Amino acid sequence: MPARDINTYWRDGMRQVEGWLAVELLDHLKCIARAQDDVKFVGNVAEIGVYRGKLLIALAHLARGSERCVAIDVFDDQAKNLDGSGAGSLALVCENFKRFAPDDCELVTVQVDTLAMTIDQRVAVSMNHGPFRLFSVDGGHTVQHALNDLLMAQDMLADGGVVLLDDFYHRHWPGVTEAVGLFYSRYVPRIAPFLHAHNKLFFTSYTFHSHFLRYAVEIFKTRPQFKVVRMYGSDVVTAT
Ligand SMILES: C[S@@+](CC[C@H](N)C(=O)[O-])C[C@H]1O[C@@H](n2cnc3c(N)ncnc32)[C@H](O)[C@@H]1O
């Protein structure tokens, strides 16, 4: 049974799990973990859109003792995967989780089409399993799915929690970038971006934005591609 160790998962396990996750993202995940650990932010970890569990298992390695890992996906109900963004499978996620996630990390699976969730279903996920310290959004990639899932992640975030949005600025999935534009133009968002790398945009609450930005600057300032840019009214570190 694997121990809690993201380095070992990255080196030995990750490449055996199908999915989409840039190997260079390890440092960005560790940056978030350090910024959360130093202030002892607590909460469970979750992902909408898990496919085979490649990133979910990484999040499980960042979860602490009693924190659980919540996998939200249509799984085998693929008729509801409207843009065909990778065919989920409950059995393969459970199998991979057993093989590569820390043995003391509890996996909770929620089979649902997030775009069709009722308010009762959302409240049930939040009350039973939230709030979340790390919440990855990588489900349907249409503008409606991405916007819906980003709003849901924002609502379930713990104090000092971070939302990871996949495929921002990815030319194959323009709906995600369009969704972020709508998020900032049509709503009064409570989260702001602070880090952008390898098509992932990381957000946290306005209250903790300067805290996470400071860690991102400190950790990535010597990288050749480092730059602090303005995005949607906030400073964002971009670093590969
Ligand atoms: C790009 S894959 C996720 C990749 C994964 N994060 C990884 O680490 O490899 C997209 C996932 O979103 C799921 N999905 C698509 N539409 C969905 C919806 N409406 N509600 C919930 N899950 C959805 C798919 O079944 C698929 O597993």
- The pLDDT tens digits for 149-207 are 999 999 999 999 999 999 999 999 999 999 999 999 999 999 999 999 999 999 999 99
What whole-number percentage of the chain has pLDDT above 90?
A: 91
SS percent in the chain: helix, strand, coil, step 5 = 45, 20, 35
Residue 1 covered by a domain = no
- What does the pLDDT read at residue 41? 94
Nearest CA to ligand 1 atom 25: 88
Residue 154 covered by a domain = yes
Residue 135 covered by a domain = yes
Give me the domain span that covers residue 116: 6-238
Average pLDDT over the chain, rounded to an integer: 96
Contacts of 82 (CB under 8 A, 6+ apart): 115, 140, 142, 145
Distance (Å) from CA 175 to ligand 1 centroid? 14
Residue 202 covered by a domain = yes
Residue 183 covered by a domain = yes
- What does the pLDDT read at residue 85? 80
Of 16, 50, 70, best ligand 1 pocket probe by most atoms within 8 Å of the beta carbon: 50
**Atom of ligand 1 at shortest distance to CA of 166?**
6
Using the predicted structure, report yes or no on whether residue 1 has a pLDDT greater than 60.
no
Using the predicted structure, report yes or no on whether residue 146 has a pLDDT greater than 90.
yes
Tens-place pLDDT, residues 94-125 = 999 999 999 999 999 999 999 999 999 999 99
Give the total number of structural domains in the chain.
Answer: 1
Residue 193 covered by a domain = yes
Sign of CA dihedral 82, 86, 91, 95: negative
- What does the pLDDT read at residue 84? 85
Distance (Å) from CA 226 to ligand 1 centroid? 30
Measured CA to CA in angstroms, residue 14 lies from 30, 47, 235 at distances of: 16, 17, 31
CATH code at position 49: 3.40.50.150
Q: With cut-offs at 50, 70 and 90, classify the pLDDT of residue 56.
A: very high
Q: At what angle do helices 209-220 and 26-39 cross, to 10 degrees?
A: 130
Q: How far apart are CA 82 and CA 19, in angstroms?
A: 18
Q: With cut-offs at 50, 70 and 90, classify the pLDDT of residue 65.
A: confident
Core vs surface per residue 33-45: b (16+ CB within 10 A) or e:
bebbeeeebebbb
Output the pTM of the full model. Answer: 0.97
Tens-place pLDDT, residues 211-220 = 999 999 999 9
Of 51, 56, 100, best ligand 1 pocket probe by most atoms within 8 Å of the beta carbon: 51
Distance (Å) from CA 119 to ligand 1 centroid? 21
Sign of CA dihedral 234, 43, 151, 140: positive
Residue 64 covered by a domain = yes
* φ/ψ bin of 32: left (φ > 0), alpha (ψ from -120 to 50), beta (otherwise): alpha
Residue 91 covered by a domain = yes
Measured CA to CA in angstroms, residue 130 lies from 47, 143, 236 at distances of: 12, 25, 27
What residues does ligand 1 touch, defined as CB less than 6 Å away?
Answer: 19-21, 47-51, 54-55, 73-74, 80-81, 85-86, 88, 113-115, 138-140, 145
